[in-house]
């Protein structure tokens, strides 16, 4: 990731506007032989950006352990589908089936689903399933629906054009399939339940409450009703529930509730993908929605884990590839920053923070939502005494800025970030850089 001596840096965003007369590069920061290259713009150009630092600063790049894990080939992905854990191969399960649903996550997740789906389709076709009998369903719970272009990016243009697809509707079209031992009434997408064969494809990425993404999460919240999802998020995964949290899988009550939901929904086959900082697959597991997921998480715990730098003067965290939900990445600032230091959050994506998550916006059981009161409350939050926060993005608007405490500073260029840092700090500085904070997690052990 470290590169030195470059004369200029690519101007981020220009790859999306070729031939528009916009400058393609900017001069390097003066006296800046030190630089770090970070990935940005997930699913929106996938652009590398170079961050230049003054030469006197000590730069520490905190990479995840699996940074250099080899990317697996397309043929190896296929072999992993042919060697499932806990189930027969997909083509055996699909034999004689007339209606098959295959789920996928949205662009808030980095899962390279488009590399897996051709092999899933090949297995279904080998079993004799007709094209009109295959339906792809976006399983992203309480997130917003996806556009046709976004669907093409996620499952591949050829598959999106050849087969029918639909967005999950979080407010209608459900079958009640039962109630979990945690008293969550499981209402599942009726189209999903009407299929003869149910297949889920997910990515493994750290999650604040559910431990990791993937597995049963493709059902709950993936294709469940808003009320079912809200119960899991606000009744089970409450701040006092210490079973929930990052990398917690086996004893996590939120995860166990999801597993019960997936069993009630009768998922037949599942694919789990672990990927690298460029969103390319390094491991694929298939088979039972629980057993394959557990196997993937055991590998993910070593792959994504990252040493925590202590007492840095400046902590730079790139929210990629989870820019829409940057709060996960921002936690690195609290872990690594010294008292009185400055955190820098990088949100280099045209959509920046995604404002739509229907569970978060529910008013059930509360007073009617008052935007002005909420914004005032958010802006009154204080940073720790003496601590600074700079948010770097060329895309932020007032709505996004309002989600940060009043004393937060904003910068539209990296040169402005350096200028603000030099105003706050003088002399040499120790800097910790987390290049893809949306994937990285602490060096912690699985809970079982």
Quick: pLDDT tens for 203-261.
999 999 999 999 999 999 999 999 999 999 989 998 889 999 999 999 999 999 999 99
| Residue 375, pLDDT score | 56
Within its chain, how far is the Cα of 444 from the centroid?
A: 19
Domains by residue range for the chain, with CATH: 8-63+307-434 (3.90.226), 74-303 (3.40.50.11440)
Q: In this model, does residue 334 exceed pLDDT 60?
A: yes
Beta bridge partners of 389: 343
- Beta strands per DSSP E along 307-442: 312-318, 337-346, 388-392, 409-411, 430-434
* Distance from C-alpha of 227 to C-alpha of 235, rounded to nearest angstrom: 11
Task: Write the CB contacts of 377 (distance below 8 Å, at least 6 apart in sequence).
Answer: none
Per-residue pLDDT band for 379 (boundaries 50, 70, 90) equals low
Q: What H or E segment, with its residue span, contains residue 138? A: strand 134-138
Q: The dihedral of CA 358, 364, 366, 369: what is its sign?
A: positive
* Distance from C-alpha of 191 to C-alpha of 180, rounded to nearest angstrom: 21
Tokens representing 253 are 């009550």
Q: Are strands 164-167 and 211-212 parallel, antiparallel or unpaired?
A: unpaired
Nearest to 82, CA basis, from 93, 72, 70:
93
Q: Rounded mean pLDDT of 181-195?
A: 98
Q: Is the peptide bond before 255 cis (omega within 30 degrees of 0)?
A: no
Count CB atoms within 10 A of the CB of residue 217: 27
pTM: 0.90
Q: Are strands 312-318 and 337-346 parallel, antiparallel or unpaired?
A: parallel
Main-chain dihedrals φ then ψ at residue 190, nearest 5 degrees: -65, -35
Convert the pLDDT of each residue in 76-129 to its tens digit: 999 999 999 999 999 999 999 999 999 999 999 999 999 999 999 999 999 999
Q: In this model, does residue 273 exceed pLDDT 50?
A: yes
Question: Please, are residues 120 and 199 in contact by the beta-carbon 8 Å criterion?
Answer: yes
Point out the least confidently predicted range of 60-74, 129-143, 330-344, 354-368: 354-368
Point out the least confidently predicted range of 78-87, 352-361, 401-410, 424-433: 352-361
| Residue 402, pLDDT score | 87
Nearest to 108, CA basis, from 138, 82, 143, 76:
143
DSSP code of residue 364:
T
* Distance from C-alpha of 211 to C-alpha of 206, rounded to nearest angstrom: 6
Q: What H or E segment, with its residue span, contains residue 295? A: helix 291-303
Tokens representing 163 are 């087969």
Q: Could you tell me the end-to-end alpha-carbon distance of the chain, in angstroms, rounded to an integer?
A: 34
């Amino acid at each position: 990731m470290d590169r030195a001596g470059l004369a200029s840096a690519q101007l981020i965003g220009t790859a999306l506007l070729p031939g528009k007369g916009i400058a393609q590069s900017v001069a390097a920061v003066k006296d800046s032989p030190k630089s770090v290259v970070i990935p940005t713009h997930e699913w929106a150009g996938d652009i590398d950006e170079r961050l230049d630092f003054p030469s006197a600063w000590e730069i520490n790049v905190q990479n995840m352990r699996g940074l250099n894990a080899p990317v697996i080939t397309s043929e190896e992905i296929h072999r992993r589908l042919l060697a499932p854990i806990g189930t027969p191969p997909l083509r055996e399960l699909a034999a004689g089936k007339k209606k098959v649903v295959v789920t996928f996550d949205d662009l808030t997740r980095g899962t390279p689903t488009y590399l897996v789906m051709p092999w899933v389709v090949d297995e279904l076709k080998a079993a004799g399933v007709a094209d009109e009998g295959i339906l792809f369903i976006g399983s992203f719970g309480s997130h917003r629906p996806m556009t046709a272009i976004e669907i093409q990016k996620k499952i591949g243009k050829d598959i999106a054009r050849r087969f029918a697809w639909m967005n999950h509707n979080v407010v209608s079209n459900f079958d009640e399939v039962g109630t979990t031992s945690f008293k969550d009434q499981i209402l599942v997408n009726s189209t999903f339940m009407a299929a003869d064969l149910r297949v889920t494809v997910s990515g493994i990425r750290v999650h604040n409450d559910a431990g990791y993404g993937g597995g049963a999460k493709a059902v709950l919240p993936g294709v469940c009703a808003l009320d079912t999802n809200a119960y899991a998020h606000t009744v089970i995964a409450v701040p006092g529930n210490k079973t929930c949290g990052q990398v917690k899988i086996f004893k996590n009550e939120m995860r166990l509730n999801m597993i019960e939901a997936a069993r009630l929904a009768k998922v037949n086959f599942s694919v789990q993908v672990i990927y690298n900082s460029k969103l390319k697959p390094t491991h694929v597991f298939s088979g039972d929605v629980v057993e394959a997921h557990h196997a993937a998480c055991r590998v993910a715990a070593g792959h994504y884990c990252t040493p925590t730098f202590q007492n840095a003067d400046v902590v730079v965290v790139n929210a990629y590839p989870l820019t829409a939900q940057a709060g996960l990445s921002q936690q690195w600032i609290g872990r690594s920053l010294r008292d009185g230091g400055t955190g820098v959050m990088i949100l280099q994506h045209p959509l920046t923070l995604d404002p739509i998550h229907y569970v978060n916006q529910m008013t059930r059981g509360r007073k009617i939502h008052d935007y002005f009161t909420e914004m005032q409350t958010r802006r009154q939050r204080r940073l720790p005494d003496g601590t600074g926060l700079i948010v770097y993005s060329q895309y932020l608007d007032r709505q996004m800025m309002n989600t940060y405490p009043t004393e937060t500073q904003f910068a539209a260029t990296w040169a402005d970030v350096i200028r603000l840092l030099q105003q706050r700090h003088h002399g040499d500085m120790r800097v910790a850089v987390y290049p893809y904070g949306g994937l990285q997690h602490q060096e912690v052990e699985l809970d079982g």
